[in-house]
């Protein structure tokens, strides 16, 4: 936005007087004058700039993670036999249930073969 205004004012006045007299061969004259001049002026201006910018960005990503990694079945689960002292590892899974102590929806147990 740009806005401006300008004001100028001035006055002028002049005053003068003249007087003369004559008597018996002598003359007398007087003259006076005065003048006055004044002026005022002002300039005012306003410049305003205003701007607003807002940027918002939101995002999310979703991923699925395995509760029990597929590779762990081959590495950590015991399959019995003499090499595993006849012990077998089992995984018990129940959807919607959290097992006490583990905080997970599955638990592992070891059983005799």
Domain assignment of residue 62, yes or no: no
Higher pLDDT among residues 9 and 100, named by residue = 100
Q: Please state, rounded to an integer, the average pLDDT across all residues of the chain.
A: 75
Domain assignment of residue 35, yes or no: yes
Q: What is the DSSP letter of 82?
A: G
In angstroms, rounded to a whole number, what is the distance separating the alpha carbons of residues 92 and 99?
10
Tell me the residue range of the domain where 92 lies: 70-112
Domain assignment of residue 10, yes or no: yes
Encode pLDDT of 60-110 as tens digits.
888 888 877 888 878 888 889 999 999 999 888 888 899 888 888 888 899
- Tell me what pLDDT residue 19 has: 54
Domain count, the chain: 2
Domain assignment of residue 108, yes or no: yes
Question: What are residue 19's DSSP bridge partners?
Answer: 30
Token pair for 7: 């004001």
At 8, which helix (H) or strand (E)?
Answer: strand 2-23
CA nearest 11: which of 34, 43, 38? 38
Domain assignment of residue 13, yes or no: yes
Whether 43 and 75 share a structural domain: no
- Tell me what pLDDT residue 14 has: 56
């Amino acid at each position: 936005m740009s806005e401006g205004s300008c004001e100028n004012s001035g006055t002028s006045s002049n005053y003068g007087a003249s007087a003369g007299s004559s008597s018996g061969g002598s003359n007398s004259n007087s003259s006076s004058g005065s003048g006055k001049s004044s002026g005022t002026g002002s300039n005012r201006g306003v410049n305003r700039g205003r701007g607003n910018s807002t940027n918002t960005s939101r995002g999310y990503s979703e991923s699925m993670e395995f509760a029990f990694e597929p590779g762990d079945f081959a590495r950590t689960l015991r399959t019995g036999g003499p090499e595993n002292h006849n012990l077998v590892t089992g995984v018990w899974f129940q959807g919607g249930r959290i097992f006490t102590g583990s905080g997970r929806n599955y638990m592992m147990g070891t059983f005799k073969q």
